[in-house]
Chains A and B, each alone.
Chain A
Amino acid sequence: MRITCPLCGDRDLREFTYGGAAVYMDRPGADADLDALDAYLHLRDNPAGPTEELWSHDMGCRAWLKVRRDTVTHEILGTALAAEAKRGAG
């Protein structure tokens, strides 16, 4: 599996560290109710197919990336810098 870092280009999986589902970026606020916190902390979509997740390019530029990946085929469907993705969404 190879991931295309927007800054460094096409790199081997071993350069990256997995950071879980991309929804981790949407942390509920301090006043969020129990259900929202439970969902954020414990529950997972865990799809068989395309999913969005966070990867850190630890052995490269060390940027956090938002990666769209197919969990059945390992195909990388798109990558972006997490910080930019977050700004874009917000």
Chain B
Amino acid sequence: MKRYSAFAIAREALRHHTGWDRAWGSPEPKKSYDVIIVGAGGHGLATAYYLGRNHGITNVAVLEKGWLGGGNTGRNTTIIRSNYLRDPSAAIYEKSRSLYETLSQDLNYNIMFSPRGVLMLGQTQHEVRAYKRTAHANALQGIETSWVGPERVKELCPIINIDGPRYPVLGGLWQARAGTARHDAVAWGYARACSDMGMDIIQKCEVTGIRREGDKVTGVDTNRGTIGTKKLCIVVAGHSGVLADMAGFRLPVESVALQALVSEPIKPAMDIVVMANTVHGYMSQSDKGEMVIGGGADGFNNYTQRGSFQHIEETIRALVETFPIISRLKMLRQWGGIVDMTGDRSPIISRTPVEGIFINCGWGTGGFKAIPGSGWATAEMVARGAPGDLAAPFSLDRFREGRMIDESVAAAVAH
């Protein structure tokens, strides 16, 4: 792999940029691998990367039915934060956020991490109480967040209307080290690094069946033939239920469409991310100047990657009150992704009822921020055969055992 650097750009400029290599290979599948990962989204690719980097396992294939990063990883609104309430969540999301800080250097790929700060507005009395509680919890967890009053909110984001008639802004939970990153680049950077370690990322390769002998996994059927493995890690977000069905077990997961939209580009108007959970909408401004807007998920299960009109209407109606300047903006694009929701709004990183099959799913509306930490924890579990400290609380049996990690307050809105 040729390193990217300012020097490399200068060198390539001199030969009209004809010397750049492909960032990753497109190999034919081998007969078998030590580990097969299904799904080349951020979580699957990060799992592969840390398997190689932290555990020296590189005979790995990542199978992707479409193109890498074409699932939710390439469809999200890129909010990165770690101000969760429960200790296990705080631990994995903060691990992730801190890995993001140096990810561009680690991968030698600019993922454009921008710690611009995330503000979650308190617009009702109980939201205020809940966020103050989160700020206290974060202080105990060693995560830097604070509760700020309405004047500070106005300072941080002048385009906010703080005395909205229905939902005045009473303050906000502020995490200065939170922010955004370029979503595609996260997938691409991990893919390039995996390919460089000799791993096979195989696109347009759909897993159609899972082979078992008794209680053990032996391989997968794909549209490009059968591939053998003793360790299979399923990382397919919204399609987790479909893969679990192939493997013969059920999951506490439901799939729904979550959508987002962007406006026409305008001059810089806000340099932080604002989330307004009571009214169900959030917004940030991309480097291109587009206002990036997201809202709630569809209220019913579905696999249509497009979203629905009534939700766009609800989201915009809500945000216009808080951000009056957007009322005249034209919206450019809208899209949807299928997210995997669990009952407690926390993810699953776990062994499964089938020996050799591991699963990483349930990130729902908020897993982009978790990609590095989740990959780290999942790789540890796959390498050792059992979850480490980061992953252990997120096992499948927590539902049956009543050990829910309730984040429905922290994650009530999609992000």
Contacts and interface: CB of A to CB of B under 8 A. Distances in A.
Contacts of B57: none
Nearest to A38: B400
- Among the interface residues A1, A34, A43, A74, which one has the most CB atoms of the partner chain B within 10 A? A43
A44 B300 contact: no
Contact of A46 (B255, B310, B343, B400): B255
19 contacts: A13-B310, A17-B299, A41-B399, A42-B252, A42-B343, A42-B399, A43-B251, A43-B252, A44-B254, A45-B245, A46-B253, A46-B255, A47-B241, A48-B239, A53-B301, A71-B255, A72-B303, A72-B304, A74-B304
Given A43-B251, A44-B251, A48-B239, A14 B302 contact: no
A77 interface: no
A9 to B, nearest CB: 20
- Among the interface residues A34, A38, A48, which one has the most CB atoms of the partner chain B within 10 A? A48
Interface string B321-346: 00000000000000000000001000
Contacts of B399: 38, 41-42
Contacts of A44: 241, 250-254
Contacts of A41: 399
Interface of B: 239, 241-242, 245, 250-255, 299-304, 308, 310, 343, 399-400
Contacts of B239: 48
A53 B300 contact: yes
Contacts of A42: 252, 343, 399-400
Given A38-B399, A42-B399, A46-B251, A71 B241 contact: no
A71 B254 contact: no
A46 B302 CA distance: 9
Interface in A23-72: 34, 38-39, 41-48, 51, 53, 71-72
Leading 7 A-B pairs by shortest Cβ distance:
A46-B241, A18-B300, A43-B250, A42-B252, A42-B399, A48-B303, A38-B400
Contacts, number: 57
A54 B300 CA distance: 10
B245 A47 contact: yes
B252 A71 contact: no
A79 to B, nearest CB: 14
Given A1-B308, A42-B343, A74 B254 contact: no
Interface size class, chain A: 20 to 34
Interface of A: 1, 13-14, 17-18, 34, 38-39, 41-48, 51, 53, 71-74
Contact of A51 (B299, B301, B308, B400): B301
Contacts of A53: 300-301
Nearest to A35: B400
B301 A39 contact: no
Nearest to A12: B310
A51 B250 CA distance: 15
Contacts of B299: 17-18
A45 B304 contact: no
A53 B301 CA distance: 10
Contacts of A46: 241-242, 251, 253-255, 301
B302 A71 contact: yes
A72 B304 CA distance: 5
A45 B300 CA distance: 14
Nearest to B299: A18
- Among the interface residues A1, A13, A44, which one has the most CB atoms of the partner chain B within 10 A? A44
Contacts of A48: 239, 241-242, 255, 303
A61 B301 CA distance: 23
B68 to A, nearest CB: 21
Contacts of B241: 44-48
- Among the interface residues B245, B300, B302, B343, which one has the most CB atoms of the partner chain A within 10 A? B300
- Among the interface residues A14, A18, A71, A72, which one has the most CB atoms of the partner chain B within 10 A? A71
Contacts of A17: 299
Nearest to A34: B400
